[in-house]
Structures are given as structure tokens and as C-alpha cells.
Amino acid sequence: MADRDERYYRSCLDHYHVSRRGLFRGLFGGLKNSQPQQQIAVLRDIARPPTALDEALFTALCNGCKACEQQCSQQVIEWGDDNKPQLNLDYNHCTQCAECQRVCPTSALSSPIADTEYRPIFSAGCLNRVSGHCQTCVEQCPQQALTINNNQQPQVDSNRCDGCGLCRSNCYIGAVTLALIIVT
């Protein structure tokens, strides 16, 4: 039975690597030859540590050991009612240090894509939109994923953004919120 379980999960993981790559290729690859039209994808409704597998596989594999929560120096991993780790970027950002993945004893955190799946949304109160005098989020983004568009609105490139949340914690007027969506 143990062998069977291992084979089952190995097969699921192989499929995962293919299907997730396919998903991202589908989301972003088609963009090159397509019209300027927004695509929105919601990949899960609970934020997980950045290398979490697809939700069904993640919840099947995570044994609730709390090693990731204890290891996170940013303290952005909290314990959920589902007895699994959840990401909370309300008070700090994720440095993408990969320590949670390193200590995970199962394959629950084994995605080759380190992405929290959060993307920033900018409110009408953004100082650049109001006066054109702030570029803090653009300057601080470690992935160079933000630009100011012609309407003086910060704009995220979902291909570059890894959902770290630094733009949110750096915005001193609170104009940035994070949502579990990928907008292209």
C-alpha cells in the first residue's frame, strides 16, 4: 500500500509539473500574438507558501508538521483552520528565501515556480495617480514588474511578478492590496 501511495503521488507530481507549465504557457504564451485584452486567472482561494503545489495536491501531501511556519523568518506563514499553512502578507512580505521549501519533509512545497500567486491592485488613492510624484513601489519591486502607464497608474507585469508583497508593505499610504489572481 505504501508503494502504491508513493507511485500515485509521483504520477500526480509528474502530471503537476506538466499541467502547471501548460497553464502558465497558456496564460502567458498566447499573449505575444494576442490583442491587448486582460486575462484573469484565480489559481486558489487560500494563499499558500510560494512553492506550494496545486491546491488538491498540496492538501493531500502536506502533513501539517508546521516546519515551514516555524522556519519562516518573515513570519508570513500562519496556521489555518484546515490544519495547513497559509500565507499572510498583511504585515510583511515574502523574501522568496525558499527556507519553507527546504524544510518541508513532504513534496507539498516542491513547485519549480516560486510564486505566492498574489498580484497587486492599486487604488485610486495612489499618489502617482493623484499627483505623479511617487514611484516607491516601482523602484522597490525586486522583479522590476511594475511600471507607470500613460494614465499615471502603476501597472503590473504578471510574468515578472512573483507575488512577494513588497509593493504593498512599501506603500506608505496603503494604496496597494493583494489579490489571489493573475492578470495579464
| Residues in touch with ligand SF4 (CB under 6 A) | 49-50, 62-68, 71-72, 74, 76-77, 85, 94-100, 103-106, 108-109, 120, 141, 143, 145-146, 156, 161-167
Smallest separation, CB 29 to ligand SF4 (Å):
20
176 near 122, Cβ under 8 Å? Answer: yes
Rounded to whole angstroms, the Cα distance separating 43 from 41 reads: 6
Smallest separation, CB 40 to ligand SF4 (Å):
16
Smallest separation, CB 167 to ligand SF4 (Å):
3
By beta-carbon proximity to ligand SF4, the closer residue of 35 and 38 is 38
Q: Cell triple for residue 138?
A: 516601482
Rounded to whole angstroms, the Cα distance separating 101 from 82 reads: 19
Smallest separation, CB 87 to ligand SF4 (Å):
6
Rounded to whole angstroms, the Cα distance separating 68 from 100 reads: 4
By beta-carbon proximity to ligand SF4, the closer residue of 12 and 67 is 67
By beta-carbon proximity to ligand SF4, the closer residue of 95 and 135 is 95
Smallest separation, CB 69 to ligand SF4 (Å):
7
183 near 27, Cβ under 8 Å? Answer: no
Q: Cell triple for residue 48?
A: 499558500
In order, the DSSP letters of 88-125 are: --SS-------HHHHH-SSSSB--SS-----EEEE-TT
